[in-house]
Structure formats: structure tokens, C-alpha cells
């Protein structure tokens, strides 16, 4: 299952916000039923995924095979140090820690965006800026790309028959 869509939710004075129902469904159907939430290293936002996905990424990267007697760096250590392991409350809410709210400049509103195997939580302002910068490369890369909607519709109808 993948995280898709964009949702905007209020954040109260204690940092509580509702996790969008489609995201909540993915998290609560994972084996751990937990969320891993950390400052995004790519954007001025927060990144979330199931805790099981974070564990799988860590395992796959070899980060779990660290020699505790050597000073060799664990490349995942900064991510793991910054990660908050969270349960979603019965009401569907999580409490965003103050350091994460500060990192993403989130005050009273949070924008959740699906990113496939993870999702991002943005301030509305940061999301709006990112959305503008996301459009230019897509437009430039697809100049001259023509969509034949009639053929596509026919193909979709053929699939459903």
C-alpha cells in the first residue's frame, strides 16, 4: 500500500493533529501499527512512514550491522536519532513534538502529502512553495508530450469489460 493524496488538518495548541484516514489505514494495518516520524532530510517538512518500513530500510542498508568497537560511522544514525516512534490515538490523532513542529515551521495547520512509501507533513506555506517549484521540471520534461484522451478512455473501458 502506498501513501497518496494531499490533506490539510488543523494542529491544536498542544501539537495534536489528525492523521488522514487513508494514511491511518496504512499505518494501522502494518505489523507494528506504529508510525516513524522524523525531520525530512530533503525538504523543510516532516517525513513519516510505517515503523516497519523504516526497520526494513535500516536492515537493507546494512545499518543494523555495526561494529560497536569501531568508530566507523553508521550512516543511518542521524535519521534514527531524530525519529519519533508513535502510536496513533483511538481518535486518529498524533502529537507532533515541538522540535518537529519547529523544523517544519508548522503552527496551526499541517498539510499531509502522499509520497509513495512515505508521506510528508508541511506547513501550508512551505507546501505552496514546493508545489510551485515541482511544476517547472515536470512541465519542461514533458514538452511535446501529447495525451490522446480518447485512446486512453477506450483502453480503460477495455480493461473494465
Q: What is the CATH number of the domain that holds 72?
A: 3.40.1550.20
What is the residue range of 99's domain? Answer: 6-160
Residue 68: predicted pLDDT: 66
1 falls within a domain: no
- Domains in the chain: how many in total? 1
Whether pTM > 0.85 for this model: the answer is: no
pLDDT, residue 67, reads: 66
Residue 146: inside a domain: yes
- Does 30 map to a domain? yes
State the alpha helices, DSSP H only, in 41-84. Answer: 51-61, 77-82
Q: How far apart are CA 110 and CA 104, in angstroms?
A: 9
What does the pLDDT profile of the chain (161 residues) look like in tens digits? 899 999 999 999 999 999 999 999 999 999 999 999 999 999 999 999 999 999 998 888 766 666 667 766 677 788 889 999 999 999 999 999 999 999 999 999 999 999 999 999 999 999 999 988 887 665 555 666 676 777 777 766 655 55
Amino acid at each position: 500500500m502506498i501513501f497518496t493524496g494531499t490533506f490539510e488538518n488543523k494542529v491544536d495548541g498542544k501539537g495534536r493533529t489528525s492523521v488522514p484516514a487513508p494514511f491511518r489505514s496504512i499505518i494501522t494495518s502494518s505489523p507494528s501499527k506504529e508510525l516513524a516520524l522524523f525531520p525530512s532530510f530533503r525538504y523543510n517538512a516532516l517525513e513519516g512512514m510505517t515503523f516497519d518500513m523504516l526497520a526494513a530500510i535500516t536492515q537493507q542498508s546494512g545499518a543494523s550491522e555495526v561494529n560497536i568497537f569501531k568508530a566507523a560511522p553508521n550512516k543511518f544514525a542521524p535519521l534514527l536519532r531524530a525519529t519519533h516512534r508513535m502510536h496513533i490515538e483511538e481518535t486518529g490523532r498524533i502529537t507532533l513534538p515541538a522540535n518537529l513542529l519547529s523544523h517544519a515551521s508548522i503552527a496551526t495547520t499541517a498539510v499531509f502529502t502522499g509520497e509513495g512509501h512515505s508521506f510528508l507533513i508541511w506547513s501550508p506555506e512551505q507546501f505552496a512553495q514546493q508545489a510551485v517549484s515541482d511544476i517547472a521540471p515536470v512541465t519542461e520534461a514533458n514538452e511535446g508530450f501529447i495525451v490522446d484522451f480518447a485512446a486512453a478512455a477506450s483502453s480503460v473501458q477495455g480493461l473494465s469489460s
